[in-house]
A and B are shown apart, each in its own frame.
Chain A
């Protein structure tokens, strides 16, 4: 089973700042099948990024993803008020699919 690590658990930013979130996999992920989701309180997760760097339909271009080996990064170029939420990475390259523990982005 591939274990995903997201640290730290919480990051604090001011609106307009750039946020960089990390996700590290315990082993290589097939075809970089790594996704990022945003979850706001009381809502279902929403797909932001698939295959490490593909932006999902309707997602603003301030969200971007990248990878370097087993390290994956989600970047939010300029934080908008609605971006303060929890972000999960998710590998779907091999079963069982797994999620990271999440990083909460909150307002400084």
Chain B
């Protein structure tokens, strides 16, 4: 069955960067789009962007352009989301979620990675 395993919780200082990983199993990694969604504690969901693991093409939400980088390592079926210049407003749970196409619902989600930004 499809499984997405995310890296563990992180605590970062303002201005630092964080890199969250999402390792997948149970399906062909390069055959689906990997989306990243964040959720500030007690609030709603916010889409950050996607990466096509096959081509490496990315599509970032304008809000995150210049601050987020999505990459992948197909040899280990793992996608990464790096967020730079962190502020307290980036404190959130970060989810990876897969879609069959660039325009598709998110069929499977990772368990989430809590990132806390605090001085």
Find out whether the CB atom of A35 lies under 8 angstroms from the CB atom of B106. Answer: yes
A104 to chain B, nearest CB (A): 11
**CB atoms of A98 and B103 under 8 A apart:** no
- Interface residues on chain A, size class: 20 to 34
**A 56-106 contacts with B by CB, 8 A:** 56-57, 88, 90, 92-93, 95-102
What is the CB-to-nearest-CB distance from A90 to chain B, in angstroms, rounded to a whole number? 7
Q: Please, what's the 1-or-0 string for A23-57, where 1 marks a CB less than 8 Å from any CB in chain B?
A: 00000001101010100000111110011000011
Indicate if the CB atoms of B61 and A90 lie closer than 8 Å: no
Q: Which DSSP category, helix, strand, loop or mixed, fits chain A's interface?
A: loop
- The CB with the most chain B CB atoms within 10 A, among A33, A35, A46, A95, is that of A95
In the complex, B47 has a CB within 8 A of chain A: yes
The verdict on A44 contacting B111 (CB below 8 Å), with A93-B103, A96-B62 known, is yes
Q: Residue-by-residue, is B83-117 near A (CB-CB < 8 Å gives 1, otherwise 0)?
A: 00000000000010101000111111111100000
The number of A-B residue pairs with CB atoms under 8 Å apart is 64
> Which chain B residues border A95 with CB–CB below 8 Å?
59, 61
Which single member of B45, B62, B99, B109 contacts A92 (CB below 8 Å)? B99
Instruction: Select one of A31, A57, A99 contacting B45, CB under 8 A.
Output: A99
A51 CA to B44 CA in the complex, in Å?
Answer: 21
- Chain B residues in the interface with A (C-beta under 8 A): 35, 37, 44-47, 59, 61-63, 95, 97, 99, 103-112
Q: Which 9 residue pairs spanning A and B have beta carbons closest together? A: A50-B105, A35-B105, A44-B109, A97-B47, A99-B45, A96-B61, A101-B44, A102-B44, A47-B107
Could you list some 11 contacts between A and B, CB below 8 A?
A30-B103, A33-B104, A35-B106, A37-B45, A44-B97, A44-B111, A90-B106, A96-B63, A100-B44, A102-B44, A102-B45
